[in-house]
Amino acid sequence: DIQMTQSPSSLSASVGDRVTITCRASRTINSYLNWYQQKPGKAPKFLIYAASSLQSGVPSRFSGSGSGTDFTLTISSLQPEDSATYYCQQSHSTPYTFGQGTNLEIK
Amino acid sequence: EVQLVESGGGLVQPGGSLRLSCAASGFTFSTYWMHWVRQAPEKGLVWVSRIYSDGSKTTYADSVKGRFTISRDNAKNTLYLQMNSLRAEDTAVYYCGRDPDYGGYSFFEDWGQGTLVTVSS
């Protein structure tokens, strides 16, 4: 199975900050990397597919990059509503696997 | 508007069975791959199973293989997960997810609200 490792596991940042979350795959997954946002008690929300393609309706302050084994999710100017847990997920091969999550808190 | 509504969760004893349903609306159900993803309390997301749009192919996580069966009824716009020989470690919120398999890329574009399965004596 492909292991996905996110860093950091948690972070705290201020409104307006630029935030970057990293996701690393245990072997190459080309661009088969997706990102999700989950708020407490809610279902995950899909943000980005194919490493960098933004889902329709997702604010443009969110962006993704990377290929191979190393990927990043960037929030260019953090907003209060971005407080959530973020997950990366590989769809290169089954079993599809998720990172352990990054808990983003607003200071 | 795409809607996915799970049902069928509840409390079940170890070794018992449960069938989850996911009622879909707002899109052409028969053209989408569908998945089940679960989340144990205070834990991360774990993919469980996938089924092709026509039901011709299914795939499972090793942890549920041989115990869970994914199926769909395209005439009823409904996805199912039959769960047998349930264990305490199957306790989780179970989500169904819609996958457009867009350009060869698979992702969970829409999710249901989830249904809680608790396995305990």
Half-sphere exposure of B49 (CA within 13 A, CB side): 24
Residue type, A88: C
pLDDT band at residue B54 under the 50/70/90 scheme: very high
Contact call for B111 and A94, based on CB within 8 A? no
CA atoms within 13 A on the CB side of A12: 1
B46, B59, B114 member nearest A94 (Cβ)? B59
A32 to chain B: closest CA residue: B105
Of A49, A95, A99, the CB nearest to B105: A49
Stretch B39-53: mean pLDDT: 97
User: Sorting pLDDT into bands at 50, 70 and 90, what band is B118?
Assistant: very high
Element (H, E) at B61: none
Can you read off the two tokens belonging to residue A86? Answer: 């973020």
Nearest CA in chain A to B61: A95
Distance (Å, whole) CA B111 – CA B101:
15
pLDDT digits (tens, 9 = 90+) for A30-53: 999 999 999 999 999 999 999 999
Q: What angle do CA B46, B35, B83 make, to 5 degrees?
A: 75
pLDDT at site B103 = 86
| Residue B101 pLDDT | 86
| Sign of the CA dihedral with B57 first, then B60, B66, and B72 last | negative
